[in-house]
């Protein structure tokens, strides 16, 4: 509970004005609820007595005014509470998203995008009502309950005691049930996350599913996941119904007690007909706090399960610690791997890289070859610090990458992968990645330098051309051209290319190759080679095999040595390696 309260006050503290206003509105609403039945009771007594018509009409008018004011206060409280809730939860979503972006790649490999969407949005949604009203509603309704019991006790002590005992029994039952229901909601939230994760994965691989004839299998899997989600949510909601039904049973007893005591008091002349109405009205009003507390407790069950998942997410720590501050020099970068080894945590027995040592001089281009699983991608991830090696050290110009800021490292090292991420925005925003400080003139200069001005001129609206989500509407080659422009704007000292020109038409491929040639001028580069033409660009060749260097030398020397593995690859056209 202390952790929950810290999270709650963290996001309520920045909006004290709204919280105080909401508190005032809710307390005002409680006061008006207590006043309304008093006015009705007075009206009944005056109407059945000898009061003048003007007095009766005045009492009726006063009740109408109080009722309207209560509705307005309730409307204002609802508006402010929704504003508080959405503001708080949006801040929480922002913090969670930022936290997840700081986690290392190992975390994101274990969690699908669908699951993360559910945890960042679905779980936070469950906290919305708790953020806006839980504490205020609980305290406010507790005050309303005390006020009703006190006013009923003024009429007759027995009635006050009876209603007090019935209400306390109801609260005890409510808080007993919550301990049973909370784990059920936690399992329901886990099933929701698994459901959305399944949908995201299958929708993302829709083409492969359809072309491989796997639709029937995946539909069967979908039925199983959906059935599990249904079962867990149904169990939680069925148990939750106990909380909703419980006040109905209790207040059936309360009304029975009111009929017996009220009838006795009225026949004895101890109360008037208006006071008798007041007792029944207060019983109805007394049900409101328990109904509200029941609803708040129900919301709390869902919120507690979601809160626990949010806490576990916030407790995740990145294994890549960003605490260095050593700058990386400008210009082309030297790359040094000094006895570097790496394995994934889930498979420590299998080394992905094993005692890897090599040096790449500034301004040189390294062609990186090797079969699938040889460690090429892992080597690149260590350079960008998506992971840290389990042994050894990676240096850039003599600076260990662990000793520099991640932002600095990723400004000086740029990666162009086969799959370029594009966003539904203008071409300008996709090039600058939404950095509004980059002037159009600088972008135009870069495009001209890369020889892409004719390509830009063919686009309907130039830099204002809208790019659809995931790059729909652009060819693979055009997406690669955008990626190269991004890199050129960043002006890194080391460029890593996961070459993808094998999917391009000849005209776009020529344009892309010319752009790459300009990009690599004056920079160090590592190219994961898939085609013979790409290898010809390299100054040095490194062949990886099972996490070790099979051979590493100048490309010309390896090509001239018929016994080298690279020479054999040249003869085979790289077919067996890629």
Domains and CATH numbers, the chain: 2-315 (1.20.1560.10), 335-572 (3.40.50.300)
Name 46's Cβ contacts closer than 8 Å, sequence gap at least 6.
Answer: 55, 56, 59
b/e 267-277 (16+ beta carbons within 10 angstroms → b): eeeebbebbbb
Q: What is the mean pLDDT of residues 363-371?
A: 90
pLDDT 10s digits, 523-535 = 999 998 766 667 7
Angle at 232 between CA 226 and CA 236, to 5 degrees: 140
Cα of 228 vs its chain's centroid, Å: 23
CA distance readout (Å), 427 to 335, 431, 464: 33, 6, 6
- 323-340 residue pLDDT tens: 788 888 888 999 999 999
Report pLDDT digits (tens) over 400-412: 999 999 888 988 9
pLDDT, mean over the chain: 82
Q: Are 302 and 122 in contact (CB under 8 A)?
A: no
> What is 60-115 written as a DSSP string?
HHHHHHHHHHHHHHHHHHHHHHHHHHHHHHHHHHHHHHHHHHHS-HHHHHHS-HHH
| % residues pLDDT > 90 (the chain) | 13
| Number of helices followed by number of strands (H, E) in the chain | 22, 12
pLDDT band at 362; cut points 50, 70, 90: very high
Q: Quickly list H helices, 103-155.
A: 105-110, 113-117, 123-126, 128-129, 135-155
C-alpha 527 chain-centroid distance: 34
Q: Are 570 and 532 in contact (CB under 8 A)?
A: yes
Q: Tell me how far apart the alpha carbons of residues 285 and 150 are, in angstroms, rounded to a whole number.
A: 13
For the beta carbon of residue 157, count every other beta carbon within 10 angstroms: 10
Distances (CA, A) of 40 to 43, 56, 284, 557: 5, 11, 14, 102
Query: What does the alpha-carbon distance between residue 538 and residue 379 come to, in Å, rounded to a whole number?
Result: 17
Please tell me the number of Cα atoms within 13 Å of 98 on its side-chain side: 6
Average of per-residue pLDDT across 185-208: 81
Contacts 24+ apart (CB under 8 A), 144-153: 144/30, 144/33, 144/34, 144/285, 144/288, 144/289, 145/286, 145/289, 145/290, 147/30, 147/34, 148/34, 148/282, 148/285, 148/286, 148/289, 149/286, 151/34, 151/38, 151/282, 152/279, 152/282, 152/286
> What distance in Å separates the CA atoms of residue 152 and residue 155, rounded to the nearest whole number?
5
Q: Please choose, from the candidates 304, 362, 398, 309, the residue with its C-alpha nearest in 3D space to the C-alpha of residue 121.
A: 309
548-554 and 540-545 strand pairing: antiparallel
Name the DSSP letter for residue 326.
Answer: P
What pLDDT score does 575 carry?
46
Residue 386 CB coordination number (10 Å): 19
Q: What is the largest CA-CA distance in the chain?
A: 122
Of 489, 492, 446, nearest in space to 331 by CA: 492
Identify the weakest region by mean pLDDT among 158-167, 170-179, 194-203: 170-179
Nearest by Cα to 419 from 333, 479, 342 = 479
* pLDDT at site 577: 44
Q: pLDDT tens-digit profile of 122-156?
A: 788 877 767 666 666 777 777 777 887 887 787 77
Closest CA to 522 of 554, 497, 542, 495: 495
CA distance 398 to 385: 16
Categorize the per-residue pLDDT at 576 as very low, low, confident or very high, splitting at 50, 70 and 90: very low
Task: Give residue-wise pLDDT tens across range 558-569.
Answer: 988 888 888 888
- Percentages helix, strand, coil for the chain (3-state, rounded to 5) are 65, 10, 20
Pairwise CA distance, residues 303 & 308, whole Å:
8
Nearest-angstrom CA–CA distance, 352 and 344? 8
Q: Which residue has the higher pLDDT, 500 or 241?
A: 241
Highest mean pLDDT among 70-84, 479-493, 541-555: 541-555
């Amino acid at each position: 509970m202390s952790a929950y309260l810290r999270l709650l006050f963290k996001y309520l503290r920045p909006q004290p004005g709204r919280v105080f206003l909401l508190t005032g509105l809710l307390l005002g609403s409680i006061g008006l609820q207590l006043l309304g039945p008093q006015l009705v009771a007075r009206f009944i007594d005056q109407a059945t007595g000898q009061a003048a018509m003007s007095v009766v009409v005045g009492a009726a008018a006063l009740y109408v005014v109080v009722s309207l004011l209560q509705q307005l206060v309730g409307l204002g409280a609802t508006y402010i509470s929704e504003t508080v809730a959405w503001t708080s939860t949006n801040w929480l979503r922002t913090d969670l998203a930022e936290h997840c972006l700081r986690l290392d790649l190992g975390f994101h490999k274990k969690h699908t995008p669908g699951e993360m969407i559910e945890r960042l949005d679905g779980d936070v949604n469950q906290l919305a009502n708790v953020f806006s009203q839980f504490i205020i509603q609980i305290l406010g309704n507790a005050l309303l309950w005390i006020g009703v019991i006190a006013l009923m006790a003024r009429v007759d002590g027995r009635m006050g005691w009876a209603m007090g005992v019935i209400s306390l029994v109801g609260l005890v039952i409510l808080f007993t049930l919550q301990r049973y229901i909370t784990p059920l909601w936690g399992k329901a939230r886990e099933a929701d996350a698994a459901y959305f994760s399944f949908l995201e994965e299958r929708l993302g691989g829709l083409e492969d599913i359809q072309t491989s004839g796997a639709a029937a299998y995946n539909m069967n899997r979908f039925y199983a996941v959906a059935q599990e989600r249904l079962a867990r949510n149904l169990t939680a909601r069925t148990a939750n119904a106990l909380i909703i039904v419980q006040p109905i049973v209790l207040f059936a007893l309360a009304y029975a007690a009111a009929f017996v005591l009220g009838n006795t008091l009225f026949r004895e002349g101890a109360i008037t007909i208006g006071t008798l109405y007041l007792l029944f009205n207060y019983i109805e009003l007394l049900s409101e706090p328990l109904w509200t507390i029941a609803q708040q407790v129900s919301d709390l069950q869902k919120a507690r399960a979601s809160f626990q998942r949010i806490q576990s997410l916030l407790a995740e720590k990145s294994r890549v610690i960003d605490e260095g501050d050593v700058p990386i020099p400008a210009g082309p970068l030297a790359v040094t791997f000094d006895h570097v080894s790496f394995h994934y945590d889930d498979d420590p027995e299998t080394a992905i890289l094993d005692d890897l040592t090599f040096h790449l001089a500034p301004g040189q281009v390294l062609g990186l070859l090797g079969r699938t699983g040889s460690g090429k991608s892992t080597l690149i991830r260590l350079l960008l610090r998506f992971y840290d090696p389990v042994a050894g050290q990676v240096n850039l110009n003599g600076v260990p990458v662990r000793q520099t800021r991640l932002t600095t490292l990723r400004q000086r090292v740029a990666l162009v992968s086969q799959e370029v991420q594009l966003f539904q925005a203008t071409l300008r925003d996709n090039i600058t990645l939404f950095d509004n400080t980059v002037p159009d003139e600088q972008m135009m200069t870069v495009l001209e330098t890369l020889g892409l001005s004719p390509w830009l001129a063919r686009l309907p609206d130039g830099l204002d051309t809208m790019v659809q989500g995931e790059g729909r509407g652009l060819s693979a080659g055009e997406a690669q051209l955008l990626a190269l422009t991004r890199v050129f704007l960043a002006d890194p000292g080391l460029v890593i290319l996961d070459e993808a020109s094998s999917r391009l038409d000849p005209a776009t491929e020529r344009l892309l190759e010319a752009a790459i040639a300009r990009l690599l001028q004056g920079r160090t580069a590592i190219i994961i080679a898939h085609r013979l033409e790409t290898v010809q660009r390299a100054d040095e060749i490194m062949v990886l095999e099972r996490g070790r260097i099979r051979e590493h030398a100048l490309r010309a020397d390896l090509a001239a040595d018929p016994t080298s593995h690279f020479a054999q690859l040249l003869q085979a056209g790289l077919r067996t390696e890629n």
